[in-house]
Each structure stands twice: as C-alpha cells, then as structure tokens.
Amino acid sequence: MLQPFIVTPGTSVCLADYDADDTGHYHHKSETKRPLKKLQKRLRKLQELLYAENQRALLIILQGMDTCGKDGTIRGVMSGINVQGCDVVNFKVPSAHEASHDFLWRAHRAVPAKGIIGIFNRSHYEDVLVTRVHNLVPEEVWTLRYQQINNFEKMLVENGTVVLKFFLHISKNEQKARLESRLRDPRKHWKIAESDLRDRAYWNDYVHAYETVFNTCNTEWAPWHIIPANKKWYRNLVITERVVESLQKLDMKYPEPTFDISQITIKD
C-alpha cells in the first residue's frame, strides 16, 4: 500500500513541510502503469456495487492551485468508469442566481445521489480561498464559513455520503513550468485564464488560506489528503488507491432480490 497522505485531524499544517515531488518508492511512470490498471479494474467493480446497492454515495473534492491537475486527475482516475454512475461538477465564479443564495446552496444541490460517485472540480472551499484572498466578501462573513462547512460535511456523512478531500500539492516552480508549457502550445491556449496569471502573484496568500482550511476543516468525518502532485502519474496512482480503499471499507453487498428467483422461469 502507498502512503495514504491523510492529514490526521488536529495536525497543524505548514505546506512547506510537504514534498510536492514525492513519488514514494517509484522512479518512473512506467512502473506505475500495472498497479494503476489493477486499481482501476477494482474501482470499476466497486463502482458497480455502489450503484447496485444504492445506499451510499461518494463525494470526491479536488482543490489546489491553478494547473495543479484537477482535470487530469478526473481523466486519469475515472478512466473506464461507467459514466452513468458518475457526476462531475465544476465550480466556477458563481452566477448571479447562485450568488443570490447562501454559499453552500450550489454545493448541496450538486452532491451525488445514493449510488453515485460525485466529483467536485473546485468546491465550496473556494468560498474561503479565492473569496478570502481577493476580499470578495467581508472578513466577518468568511470567518463563519469554516464551521458552516464542517457542519455541512458532517450532515452529508451522517446521511450516507463518504467525503474524500484531496489537495493536489504542486510547487510554485512546477506551476511556472506548466503555465509556460501552456503558453508554448497553441492547443493549450484555451486553458490559460487571466485569473491564473493574476493568482500566481498571490501564491503565498493562497498557501496561507489553504493552511487555514487544513487547520480548521480537517475533521474526523471528512479529513484532507495532501497529495504530492508534481508528478502526474504518482498523483493518479495515490488518489485511485485512496478511492478504492474508501469504497472497499464500505463493505458493500449486492442487494437481495425482492422476490423468489428460484420460482421464476422465463417463458418462451
């Protein structure tokens, strides 16, 4: 088993102590191809079981600095998954309609139904990250949100949703390399947002805002994982294993038929 990278609740997190370059005992992508394939196969089976059982849901929350690889993680981890049992939701700048509600409204509407794996590409955490860094709401408003988030997530967990939170940890140098590679490749220009370039200048403020999140919203019921994400292949391997492991822990069973199967014959 790989290191789980789970942050033990109560730990005081300083992001500089976490190595974004870590690749465990692996040295090259080629070494992870087989274990990743095996994990993806298990994930497909577990997803079918989750869907068949129709009792629990899994919510995966992906957060991180721009270019940290949220989209690539979704592609890499979920490849081959039955799309019918999977919802991906992107959290962008709130629309006027969304902004006219409380900040958790759009997140709650988007959580997965029973039997479904839901992925949040960004999430309600933006409301204590970008919002805080750019003073989009007054301090007295965002300071209340940490507790509100904890209560919201607790309610989800108590109602049968497993909440897995991943911070994709890249270094500032790695972000530079990824932004430069996007600038060089015309097929990647569509991915560059002015906000990414603007936000790079606020790197330290984001680190600080994230550390507050890890120190305030890292609960027993929904702890954070800080995933070394400079190497995409290691990031995908670790996250896939975490997802498989958490589904396995549910000890799911195919539901019993609601009638006596032995009495049934299929007529011509």
- C-beta closer to Mg ion: residue 183 or 193: 193
Is residue 113 a contact point for Mg ion (CB under 5 A)? no
- C-beta closer to ligand AMP: residue 127 or 174: 127
CA 11 to chain centroid, in Å, comes to 20
CB of 205 to ligand AMP, least distance (A): 13
Contact predicate 47/248, CB 8 Å? no
Q: Please report how the helices 232-248 and 70-78 are oriented relative to each other, as an axis angle in degrees rounded to 10.
A: 60
Binding partner at 91 among ligand AMP, Mg ion, none, C-beta below 5 to 8 Å by kind: ligand AMP
CA 64 to chain centroid, in Å, comes to 9
Is residue 153 a contact point for ligand AMP (CB under 6 A)? no
Determine which residue in the list 113, 141, 193, 197 makes contact with Mg ion, applying CB under 5 A.
Answer: 193
Site for ligand AMP in 105-134 (CB under 6 A): 122, 126-127, 130-131
Q: Which residue is nearest to ligand AMP (CB)?
A: 126
Is residue 183 a contact point for Mg ion (CB under 5 A)? no
Determine which residue in the list 94, 114, 216, 232 makes contact with ligand AMP, applying CB under 6 A.
Answer: 94
Site string for ligand AMP, 182-221 (x = CB under 6 A): -----------x-x--------------------------
Is residue 99 a contact point for Mg ion (CB under 5 A)? no
- With CB under 6 A as the rule, give the number of residues binding ligand AMP: 12
Is residue 72 a contact point for ligand AMP (CB under 6 A)? no
- C-beta closer to Mg ion: residue 64 or 223: 64
Is residue 92 a contact point for ligand AMP (CB under 6 A)? yes
Site residues for ligand AMP per CB under 6 A? 91-94, 122, 126-127, 130-131, 136, 193, 195
Site residues for Mg ion per CB under 5 A? 66, 193, 196
